[in-house]
Structure 1
Amino acid sequence: MSATKMLVLGVVQAAGEVHGYQVRRELLSWHAENWANVKPGSIYHALKKAARDGLVDEVGAQPGDSGPDRIRYRITESGVREIVALVRAALRDATDNVTLNAAIAMLPALTRAEAIDDLGVRIVELEKALQGLRDWMANPQEGLPEHVREQAGLWTNQVNAELDWARKLLARLNAGAYTMADEHG
């Protein structure tokens, strides 16, 4: 799954109409290159591909400051459905933290019920992963080096931390935190 695609569609959706440089500037201001591995060139590629795929429409051009015209984009209904599907899938996938970071940034694209449901699925998946790690640590393979068992300790702590975060976010959403897609004006 592409974190870049999710973030680009989300910025276009939030902005209404926007050109690639504005999308790039917005994502760089979020430091998305650090937590979602978004590269500036991939932003323009994602916009062009989204236009080819009917996820965004080109709505005109404006003169560039010192270069070519800047194409303006607007999200389509297909694009809205796509971002919802991407965010929901990323929230449910307890194995991919890069797209999770993008999904958190795009969380308001979901309805409150969708976000609550998807976080609940993630929590169940994390609980299963934690149990699997505990079982593995309790019954290590014959000859498994101690330093490899140390990794399992690290992973167990990471899953515990993520579970704590997910449960707290779920509680905040249940309490009405954040303005979600079904709550906009």
Structure 2
Amino acid sequence: MAKKRKVGNLLALAVLAVMQDEAMHRYQIAARLRDYGKDRDLDIKWGSLYTVVQNLAKAGFLEVVGSEREGARPERVIYRITDAGQRELVDWTRELIAEPEPERGRFLAGLSILAVLPPDEVAELLGRRLVSLDAQIAEVRKELAELAATLPRLFLIESEYGLAVLETEAEWARALRTELLEGTFPDLAEWQAWHQGGPGVDSARARAYVEGVDTTSDR
């Protein structure tokens, strides 16, 4: 079970990771995060970086070691990771790798209420999604091939995982679309009939089906 962290924002984990080797002010931290491509791995809200750094310092994971000023610019506070911060980084990483947690996204939310759309429209929408997924997959494959020429595989693992997720989603979406187009999806006729409102449709049962309610227990 995931621990309750003093600073639970995943941006905090990325900050601790990039600060292992040297002390930095937050502008350097932001530049390092971009250099390492962390904005591709995480949904980083750059406006929250200042707050995250402050919270890490309050929690004892970062400490102030100085400041610098360039010309008329505001003074920049320099932080470094503490021993407690290093332990937090390692412990948090272990947890993320070892303990699966549900990752609920926009696509899953849409799938959970899929039946509000007619099946022919779902097939068309899945086709559009597949065009986008195939383009993303091609882009990631190209990027991985280019990076593999200069970087050890250790630093490409997250991109490999991202590619595998995209490929798996595309495979699943393509199979579902094929079932809809070929008419092999279970209860497809009832799903279509409910949306068409044709004669002889058991509207109560069809609505329960569309809304994901089990009606078999009433029989």
**TM-score normalised per structure 1:** 0.49
RCO higher in structure (CA 8 A, sep ≥6): 1
Q: Which has the larger radius of gyration?
A: 2
TM-score, normalising length from structure 2? 0.42
